[in-house]
Amino acid sequence: MPKRPGKNAKSSFPCRVAIAIMAAGKGTRLKSRHPKVLHEIGGKPILAHVIATAAKVVPAADIFVIIGHEAERVRQAVGGSGVNFVLQAEQRGTGHALMVAREALAPYDQVIVLSGDAPLITAPTVQKLSSFHNAQNAAMTLLTADLATPVGYGRVLRKSAKSTEVKAIVEEKAANATQKKIREINSGFYAFSGPSLYQHIGELSTDNPHREYYLTDMAGILHRARKKVIAIKTADAAEVLGSNTRAEIVDLDARLRLAKCHQLMAEGVTIFQPQTCLIDSDVVVGADSVIEPFVQLLGKTRIGADCRIRSYSILKDSEVADNVLVNPLTVTDGARIGTGAIVGPYSRLRPGSDIGEGAHVGNFVETKKIKLGKGSKANHLTYLGDAEIGDGVNVGAGTITCNYDGVNKHKTTIEDGVFIGSDSTLVAPVRIGRGAYVAAASCITDDVPADALALGRARQTVKEGWAAAKRGSRNSTQG
Ligand code: UD1
Ligand code: MG
C-alpha cells in the first residue's frame, strides 16, 4: 500500500495534491529510436522541463511519472529529480496510464495530470488550473486553449458557448466536420478529483479508432454521471503546445530559447540578435554582460557580470567569472575562466582547463586539464595538457607540452614567473623552476632549476659563403 500522502506543503489548499506526468508513450510520429520525452529542447529532455514545472507546484514526493516505452532510459535520464515512477508496461492509451497509477494516486484529493510531451507549461498556469478546479468543486477541469490551427488536438465540446461546463472531448480522428472547426483544444492537462476519477475510470472503453483507453473520454463519462466537468482557457496558447512531430519539437525549442533570451535581457544582459543565439535553459548570465550574435551557451554554463562573449563562440558546461572577454570562435567545454581573463579568438579550452585571473589564452591555443596562473599568457599556437602553470608565466608561440607517451599521461609543472621561448617542447614529466628561462626552440626533457636558463637545441653552424658558392657552381654548369 502506498504511504498516505500528507497535506501538500507547497499547495495553498487544504487538500492533498498529486501531479501525474504521462510519459510512457513511444512517440511514433517522430520516427525515432529514442523515446519522445527524451528528445531535447533548450538543451534538456522534454520531460525534464515538465518535471521542473511540476516541482514548483508540489514536492517531488507527490509527483508520479508514468513510464513505459524504454522505461529504464527515461527513469535514468530524470531520476535525479527525486520523483516517483509508475510503470505502464503496455501502453494502451492515456486513460490506461492513469489506470495503472491507481494505487499511487487514489489516496490524493486532487490529481493534476500533465503531459510529458508538452514542456512549455508554467507553474502559475498549473496553480491556476488547480485552484479553479478546487474553487469550483469540480470532478474534472481541463485546461484548454484557442489555437489558430487546432489540427491533431482533441476538441472541447462545451455545454454552450458561454458555459464553463464541458460535455465531452472529441479526438481529431473521431471528430465530424463541424467539430473539426472548433478551435478550442484540449491541452492534455487536467485537474481531477481523485475519488471521482477512480470511481469512474473503469468505465473507459477502447471503442475508438486506435483501440486505446482515452483519458479524454473521462469528460463525457463524468458529465453523464452528473459530475461537474469544466474548462479553463490559458491566456497564452503556446504553453500547451505538444511535441508530436520533429517540426513541433524544433518549434518548441525555438520558443523556449527566445523566452530564455528575453528572461536574461530582463535581468540586465544584452543579447544582440537573440534569434541567432542558442542558450540552454539552465544557463546563468550576470548583468551587463553582452552576448553577440551566433553565440551558443550550453548545459550548465554560468557567465559572470560585465563579460563579453563574441560571435561564434560555443561555451558548454563552463564557468566564466566577471569581466571576461571571450573573443570570436572560442570553444570551451568544462572550463573555468577567471576574472578579467581574455580568451580567443580561436581558443579551445577542453575539460579541466582552469584559466586564472587576468590570464590570456590566444589564437589556436588548445588546453586540457591545466591550471594557468594569474596573469599568465599563452597567446599563440600552443598545446597545454596536464599542466600546472604558475602566475606571471609567459608561454611562447608554438609551445607544446608532450604529455602522452603512448600509454600514460604525464604532468608538466611550470612555476611562477617562468619564460618559455617560442617553439619549445616540454617532455613530461618535467618541472621548470620558478623564474627560469627556456630558450626558444628547446626540447626540454630534464627538470630546469629555478632562475636557470635551459637550452635544449642543436648549436647553430654557419658556413660562410656556402650559398654563393653553390650558386656559382650552378651558373658554371648552365654556361
Ligand atoms: C492527447 C489528447 C488530446 C490532446 C493532446 C494535447 C488523448 C486521447 N488525447 O493527444 O485530446 O489534444 O494530447 O497534446 O489523451 N502516454 C502514456 N501512455 C500511453 C499513451 C500516451 O503515458 O499509453 C503519454 C505520452 O507519452 C505523452 C502523453 O501521454 O506524453 C500524451 O500522449 P500522446 O500520444 O502524445 O497524445 P496526443 O495524441 O497528443
Ligand atoms: Mg501529444
Grid coordinates representing 272 are: 544582440
Nearest Cα neighbor of 239 from 185, 303, 175, 164 is 185
Residue 213: CB within 6 Å of ligand 1?
A: no
Among 39, 69, 380, 410, the one annotated catalytic:
380
| Residue with CA closest to ligand 1 atom 29 | 22
Query: 204 CA distance to ligand 1 centroid (A)?
Result: 15
Grid coordinates representing 437 are: 628561462
Q: Where are the domains of the chain?
A: 17-240, 249-454
Query: 115 CA distance to ligand 1 centroid (A)?
Result: 7
Mutate to test the pocket of ligand 1, among 64, 67, 94, 182 (most ligand atoms within 8 A of CB): 94
The pLDDT profile of the chain, 479 residues, written as one tens digit per residue, is 344 555 554 545 558 999 999 999 988 899 999 999 999 999 999 999 999 999 999 999 999 999 999 999 999 999 999 999 999 999 999 999 999 999 999 999 999 999 999 999 999 999 999 999 999 999 999 999 999 999 999 999 999 988 999 999 999 999 999 999 999 999 999 999 999 999 999 999 999 988 999 999 999 999 999 999 999 999 899 999 999 999 999 999 999 999 999 999 999 999 999 999 999 999 999 999 999 999 999 999 999 999 999 999 999 999 999 999 999 999 999 999 999 999 999 999 999 999 999 999 999 999 999 999 999 999 999 999 999 999 999 999 999 999 999 999 999 999 999 999 999 999 999 999 999 999 999 999 999 999 999 999 999 999 999 999 999 987 776 55
Q: Do domains 17-240 and 249-454 have the same CATH topology?
A: no
411 close to 427: Cβ distance less than 8 angstroms: no
Which ligand 1 atom sits closest to the C-alpha of 91? 23
Look up the pTM and report it.
Answer: 0.90
CA torsion, ordered 117, 36, 110, 169, to nearest 10 deg: 60
Residue 42: CB within 6 Å of ligand 1?
A: no
DSSP of 13-74, one letter per residue?
A: SSS-EEEEEE-----GGG--SS-GGGSEETTEEHHHHHHHHHTTTS-GGGEEEEEBTBHHHH
Nearest Cα neighbor of 287 from 302, 301, 307, 272 is 307
Query: 36 CA distance to ligand 1 centroid (A)?
Result: 11
Residue 35: CB within 6 Å of ligand 1?
A: no
Which amino acid is present at 449? P
Give the strand pairing for 296-298 and 314-316.
Answer: parallel
Query: 113 CA distance to ligand 2 centroid (A)?
Result: 13
Q: Cα 318–393–304 angle (5° rounding)?
A: 25
Q: What is the pLDDT of residues 144-162, one digit of tens each?
A: 999 999 999 999 999 998 8
According to the model, what pLDDT value does residue 473 have?
83
Integer CA distances (angstroms), 347 to 59, 96, 286, 297, 398, in order:
43, 53, 23, 16, 14
What's the CATH code, domain 17-240?
A: 3.90.550.10
Helices and strands (DSSP H and E) totals, the chain: 10, 37
Nearest Cα neighbor of 383 from 396, 374, 373, 375 is 396
Alpha carbon distance 387, 372 (integer Å): 8
Residue 283: how many other CB atoms lie within 10 Å: 21
Residue 116: CB within 6 Å of ligand 1?
A: yes
Nearest Cα neighbor of 113 from 212, 256, 240 is 240
Alpha carbon distance 401, 460 (integer Å): 24
At residue 313, the 3 state secondary structure works out as coil
According to the model, what pLDDT value does residue 2 have?
44
Grid coordinates representing 396 are: 611562447
DSSP 346: S
471 CB-contact burial (10 Å; exposed 0-12 / middle 13-18 / buried 19+)? exposed
According to the model, what pLDDT value does residue 9 have?
46
What's the CATH code, domain 249-454?
A: 2.160.10.10
Active site residue 380: yes
Which helix (H) or strand (E) covers residue 388, if one does?
strand 377-389
Which ligand 1 atom sits closest to the C-alpha of 22? 22
Nearest Cα neighbor of 179 from 234, 216, 133, 204 is 216
Alpha carbon distance 365, 262 (integer Å): 34
DSSP 202: G
Give the strand pairing for 184-193 and 110-115.
Answer: antiparallel
Phi, psi of 311 (to 5 degrees): -55, 150
Alpha carbon distance 222, 243 (integer Å): 28
Give the distance, in angstroms, between the CA of residue 55 and the centroid of all CA atoms in the same chain: 17
Alpha carbon distance 351, 333 (integer Å): 5
